[in-house]
Amino acid sequence: MNKCTHWERTECFELVYDDYTGESEHQWVTREECLQVDIDIHRFKCTACGEIGYYSGAARRFYEEGERSPGIKGLE
């Protein structure tokens, strides 16, 4: 299926609650977000490399080969 592994890593200084002490303090936090976005029903695209992925084999066959899948909404 999809082999794209692009993620966006950001670092920011934000207020974080400490469960142990019950206090909040500012800390550097690293966040990772997937760069894949839905482009239409049953498929998605990486905003970094442009690779298109499918949520199922039936969706791949529908978009790449034109094969209809009765009973699957949007692929019938």
Hey, where are the domains in the chain? 7-65
Average pLDDT for 43-68: 91
Residue 40 has pLDDT above 60, yes or no: yes
First vs last C-alpha separation in the chain: 21
Higher pLDDT, residue 68 or 4:
68
Residue 3 has pLDDT above 80, yes or no: no
DSSP result, the chain: ------EEEEEEEEEEE-TTTS-EEEEEEEEEEE-EEEEETTEEEETTT--EEESSHHHHHHHHH----TTSTT--
> Could you report the per-residue pLDDT of 12-31, keeping only the tens digit for each?
888 888 888 888 888 888 88
Task: Report the chain's mean pLDDT, rounded to a whole number.
Answer: 87
Residue 2 has pLDDT above 80, yes or no: no
